Structures are given as C-alpha cells and as structure tokens.
Amino acid sequence: MNWEAIGAVGEVGGAIAVVGTLIYLAAQIRHSSESTLASTQFAIMAEFNRMHEVLVQDRDLLDTLRKVKSGEDLDPLEERVFHHYGNRLLNQWVAIQLARNHGAVDDDFWATAKADVARACGDWPGLDQKITEMLGHYPASWEVFESLHTSSEAPRSAE
C-alpha cells in the first residue's frame, strides 16, 4: 500500500468522524432545546403555583377579589392589593410571551396560557380595566396582553 492510499483511507476515516460528530452535536442540541423548553415551562408553572398559594393563604386578597367579582367598591388599600395582584398576573403573562418569542414555550402551553388569561379576565370583572390602567405605565406590554387576551383559545386536550 502506498502513501496516497493510506492518505485516502485517513481522509475517509476523518470524514466519517466528522459526520459522526455532527450527528452527536445535533442530538445534543435537540436534547438541550427540549430541556430548556421543559425547564422554562416548569418555572412558569412554579410561579403560577406560588401565586395560587398566596391567593389561598391571604384572606385579605381573597376578600378583595370577592369584592371585585361582585362589583363592590374597593377602599384605597384594596385598590392597591388588586393592582398588585393584577400586576403580578400581567408580569407572568409577559414572561410567557417572552418565552414564546424565544421558542421556549410550545403550542399547547401557549394555548393554555391564552385560556388562563381569558379565564382570569372572566373570573375577575374589572381585571381588564385594571390591567389596561397598568399598561398605561408600560405601553410596550400592551401588545403582549392583547395577543394573549384577544385570541384566547381553549387548551387542547391530550389525546
């Protein structure tokens, strides 16, 4: 065997190694993307769980939300409590929109988030108005609320 033949075998072996490396890297990138997606969605759900824990444990907040739902007037402190609750919801929805913009939220999670916005706004009359007032201070977030709120869909069921 001459040196040219040995060189050709080496080049073929090198090409096979490069292809194998590229396949391995593609698999690693896909796994990393899937992990990021799951991690982001888990973090968003964990924040919603914290919000629900606060809601269950805070009788003043529950009373304020009851008044909002029944259309009763709120005193200044209750207005502030409701404002902060609405702000926290809005921040959560903005986080979901940002994750969606970066591909870190899948279509099913996005559909569920939109249904959550519709449900929250339906459950708490006045939430739309409060969020609209808040958005006056954060105009860049208006598009986020509109995209979630106006095109709400029911979440898809698992088949």
Place of tokens 């029911």: 154
The reported pLDDT for the residue numbered 151 is 46
Residue 90 in any domain: the answer is yes
Which structural domain range is residue 74 located in? Answer: 39-149
Residue 58 in any domain: the answer is yes
b or e along 76-91 (b: 16 or more beta carbons within 10 Å of the residue's beta carbon)?
Answer: eebeebbeebbeebbe
Residue 3 in any domain: the answer is no
Alpha-carbon torsion (125, 128, 131, 136), positive or negative: negative
Residue 9 in any domain: the answer is no
Residue 7 in any domain: the answer is no
Count of domains observed in the chain: 1
Residue 129 in any domain: the answer is yes
The reported pLDDT for the residue numbered 153 is 41
Query: Rounded to two decimals, what is the model's pTM?
Result: 0.65
Residue 156 in any domain: the answer is no
Residue 140 in any domain: the answer is yes
Q: Among 12-21, 34-43, 104-113, 131-140, name the most confident range.
A: 12-21
CB atoms within 10 A of CB 109: 19
